[in-house]
Amino acid sequence: MCPPLTLELLAAPAAVSGVRRALRDHGADVQLCASELVTNVIRHLGEGVPVTVRVSCDGGRTRLEVTDPDPRALPVLHEAVDVDDESGRGLALLDALALRWGVEREPDRKTVWCELPGTAAVATAVGHEPPYSRSGSTSTTSPWPPPDRLPCS
């Protein structure tokens, strides 16, 4: 099991690339799913909405959770997307990559979650933090280089 990672951010296009960088050690599938889910928050709720991204791994699976403050705006998986469409593929990608996924609703928020095969380590580079707040740390605008990989038991 690797240590859980929690990212607190405001939904914005720049935050999406920061989330991808923060999840680099979890692999491309986790990065893609997180990117799509945060982008859905921006698209359906708007910029500036508080979002929490959580990642944990256990039992050969990586669990990704994206929480936003609107329990009514539920994700909808569309059957087919036209080749020329510029959007509408996010949940289809998540559905194809994830072992399973779903939504947990509470009165004041919802969490869209998915479980992906495999686990990866989460480590932080000493002296560098991402340009958004992580639980237990302060935010800065310094770049956050990819951390060294550590085995996840």
Residue 148 lies in a domain: no
Residue 87 lies in a domain: yes
Q: Flag residues of the chain having pLDDT under 50.
A: 121-153
Q: How far apart are CA 70 and CA 62, in angstroms?
A: 25
Q: What is the pLDDT of residue 12?
A: 96
Residue 61 lies in a domain: yes
Residue 153 lies in a domain: no
Q: What is the pLDDT of residue 87?
A: 54
Q: What is the pLDDT of residue 30?
A: 94
Residue 99 lies in a domain: yes
Q: What is the pLDDT of residue 80?
A: 56
Question: Which residues lie across from 26 on neighbouring strands?
Answer: none
How many folded domains does the chain comprise?
Answer: 1
The boundaries of the domain holding residue 42 are 2-134
Residue written as tokens 């002296």? 127
Q: How far apart are CA 18 and CA 143, in angstroms?
A: 9
Helix axes 13-22, 28-45, angle to 10 degrees: 160
Q: What CATH number does residue 70 fall under?
A: 3.30.565.10
Query: Contact at 8 Å (CB) between 93 and 35?
Result: no
* DSSP letter assigned to residue 146: P
Residue written as tokens 């991204």? 53
Residue 120 lies in a domain: yes
Q: What is the pLDDT of residue 131?
A: 39
Q: How far is CA 64 from the centre of its chain?
A: 6
Q: What is the pLDDT of residue 73?
A: 81
Residue 151 lies in a domain: no
Residue 140 lies in a domain: no
Q: CB atoms < 10 A from the CB of 80, how many? A: 8
pTM for the whole structure: 0.72
